[in-house]
Amino acid sequence: MQYYSLAKQSPNVNFKTAAITGQAPDKGLYFPTTIPQFTKEQIEKFKTLDKASLAFEVMKPYVGGTIDDASLQQICAETINFDFPLVPITDTIYALELFHGPTLAFKDVGARFMSRCLGYFSKQIKAEKFAQSTKVEPEQIVETKDNIKNAISASKPTTVLVATSGDTGGAVANGFLGVEGVNVIILYPKGKVSPIQELQLTTCGQNITALEVEGSFDDCQAIVKDAFMDASLNAAYNLTSANSINVARWLPQQLYYFFAWQQWVAKYGDQIPMHIVVPSGNFGNICAGMMAKASGLPLGHFVAACNANNVVTRYLQTGNYEIHKAVATVSNAMDVGNPSNFVRIMEIMQNNFENLKQGLSSYSYDDVVTASTIHRVYKTNDYILDPHGAVAFLAAEQFIQEKLQTSSLQNVESETSNLRAIILETAHPVKFPEVVEAAIGQTIDIPVSVQFLLYKEKVAIPMGASFSEFKAWMLANARS
């Protein structure tokens, strides 16, 4: 399996190179040269496979031999070692809860998979370098403590730089914590992440460093962008990014569509289509679901639920793709003005607008109706949505209603009983306490799994919103 750049100006690479470099040299996103096709027999077998084995079967073709099977099995098992329950909210709408991982958001899956892949490759590269320096074949290296120490000093450590508005940083910090040979530096905007998010970013220690930037998320992102272009930083560090354009973060997101489908067919068999509503910002998550479908998983229709940042919703209505500067909303993980993964969706749809409209719908909602929906669903259905899930819930209701209206009279009965959708609940409501607690009129319990954070001490390095200050700090650190 090879990957090509969607900008078409760079050579094809394997999974290892795509994962290490993130973006192609021509700034294009990597895309697999062929989408693996699972046979009917394989899909039938997937129905009852345990999660870890299923994850291995799905990821193996994409990894394309760059990770040995035993290691990939272990990476997959570690990546998905928590629950992905499909929980009914109403008679027709279900929540696929993706917030049972260590940082309470779906980004855990991508971050955990990517971190372990980079850890694997980093170890492999060091072994190769060490072998070159001592003229022995890599296979012959015995991993003694001394050998590893020498090898580590023989190469620059991989340093992941990431700017975050909240969820990404926590998932990446947690995913990379303790991964040998990889350091992580997280830039987050001071005072602009929620208390739980800040604790997730700043209490890891070890190979994770948090920089508290006196500025906005955009400032953090600008510093990271400048860093990737800077010659002296690139000479001192082996820099890489951990955002969703990296194939190692993007592709494993397919897994929970497989897990959802397993639960769906166990309940409904093959007859009732599983329509899927995904709260979308950068469109990496929904694009992964569409890949799963393109590889043969029998999924229903896809719906992208958006907040006021609705470039894709408008595109589907008008055929005009007009990007805007992001506006701030209560579902802030979707505040993206120019979704970077949308080019991948177009590639899956053979860059054909009619195909796109067949496979994808999109709706957009403002903050007022988002908050009132959190209130309504809590009162009516006793389910606490987070702001992103609330946007998805609204889209699911609208999708079902429009489908009912457009179906012909004689179909109504069967359509009515069969029309169901799942929404992806992408984060735990406790990560957005201000909005959710105001909407439901009470406080939310902090899940036991993250209560330990409350006893930890925040450690963050204060940093001005200036690239030169950041660069000076980085270079001083590299020498020490």
313: contact with ligand PLP by CB under 6 A: no
In the complex, what is the shortest distance from the CB of residue 122 to ligand PLP, in angstroms, rounded to a whole number?
Answer: 26
Query: Which candidate, 142, 179, 92, places its Cα nearest to that of 419?
Result: 92
For residues 101 and 279, which CB has a smaller minimum distance to ligand PLP in the complex? 279
Q: What are φ and ψ of residue 279, in 5° steps?
A: -65, 120
283: contact with ligand PLP by CB under 6 A: yes
Query: Which candidate, 262, 251, 257, 252, places its Cα nearest to that of 46?
Result: 262
280: contact with ligand PLP by CB under 6 A: yes
* Order of strands, sheet of 208-214, starting from the edge strand that comes earlier in the sequence: 238-241, 158-163, 182-189, 208-214, 461-464
Sole binder of ligand PLP in the list 6, 29, 58, 105 (CB under 6 A)? 105
Question: CA 305 to CA 327: how far, in whole Å?
Answer: 16
Question: CA 270 to CA 257: how far, in whole Å?
Answer: 15
333: contact with ligand PLP by CB under 6 A: yes
Question: CA 393 to CA 387: how far, in whole Å?
Answer: 10
282: contact with ligand PLP by CB under 6 A: yes
Is 47 designated active site?
A: no
**137: number of CA atoms within 13 Å, CB side?**
2
Q: What is the sign of the dihedral through the CA atoms of 289, 292, 293 and 298?
A: negative
For residues 121 and 283, which CB has a smaller minimum distance to ligand PLP in the complex? 283
In the complex, what is the shortest distance from the CB of residue 385 to ligand PLP, in angstroms, rounded to a whole number?
Answer: 11
Residue 361 C-alpha from the chain's centroid: 21
- Per CB under 6 A, contacts with ligand PLP among 370-409 are 388
Long-range contacts of the stretch 58-61 (C-beta < 8 A, 24+): 58/254, 58/255, 58/258, 58/292, 59/113, 59/251, 59/252, 59/255, 61/1, 61/36
Six token digits for residue 83: 């629950």
Query: Which candidate, 257, 342, 327, 243, places its Cα nearest to that of 298?
Result: 257
- Per CB under 6 A, contacts with ligand PLP among 22-61 are none
72: contact with ligand PLP by CB under 6 A: no
In the complex, what is the shortest distance from the CB of residue 340 to ligand PLP, in angstroms, rounded to a whole number?
Answer: 9
In the complex, what is the shortest distance from the CB of residue 149 to ligand PLP, in angstroms, rounded to a whole number?
Answer: 38
For residues 122 and 362, which CB has a smaller minimum distance to ligand PLP in the complex? 362
In the complex, what is the shortest distance from the CB of residue 17 to ligand PLP, in angstroms, rounded to a whole number?
Answer: 23
Query: Which candidate, 251, 341, 249, 247, places its Cα nearest to that of 292?
Result: 251
3-state SS class at 20: helix
In the complex, what is the shortest distance from the CB of residue 107 to ligand PLP, in angstroms, rounded to a whole number?
Answer: 5
Q: Are 292 and 36 in contact (CB under 8 A)?
A: no
Q: What are φ and ψ of residue 304, in 5° steps?
A: -95, 120
**Buried b vs exposed e over 96-130: b needs ≥16 C-beta within 10 Å?**
bbbbbbbbbbbbbbbbbbbbbbbbbbbbbbbbebb
Q: Which of 107, 123, 126, 293 is catalytic?
A: 107
For residues 282 and 310, which CB has a smaller minimum distance to ligand PLP in the complex? 282
- Per CB under 6 A, contacts with ligand PLP among 202-261 are 244
Six token digits for residue 259: 């897990």
Count of chain residues binding ligand PLP (CB under 6 A): 16
For residues 377 and 419, which CB has a smaller minimum distance to ligand PLP in the complex? 377
For residues 107 and 275, which CB has a smaller minimum distance to ligand PLP in the complex? 107
In the complex, what is the shortest distance from the CB of residue 221 to ligand PLP, in angstroms, rounded to a whole number?
Answer: 14
For residues 125 and 424, which CB has a smaller minimum distance to ligand PLP in the complex? 424
In the complex, what is the shortest distance from the CB of residue 319 to ligand PLP, in angstroms, rounded to a whole number?
Answer: 22
For residues 181 and 279, which CB has a smaller minimum distance to ligand PLP in the complex? 279
Planar angle of CA 32, 33, 35, nearest 5 degrees: 65
348: contact with ligand PLP by CB under 6 A: no
Strand partners, 238: 158
426: contact with ligand PLP by CB under 6 A: yes
* Choices 44-52, 54-62, 281-289, 443-451; region in contact with ligand PLP by CB under 6 A: 281-289
281: contact with ligand PLP by CB under 6 A: yes
Sole binder of ligand PLP in the list 109, 117, 227, 334 (CB under 6 A)? 334
329: contact with ligand PLP by CB under 6 A: no
289: contact with ligand PLP by CB under 6 A: no
Q: What are φ and ψ of residue 469, in 5° steps?
A: -65, -45
Contact residues for ligand PLP, defined by CB under 6 A: 105, 107, 167, 244, 279-285, 333-334, 388, 426-427
Q: Which residues are catalytic?
A: 107
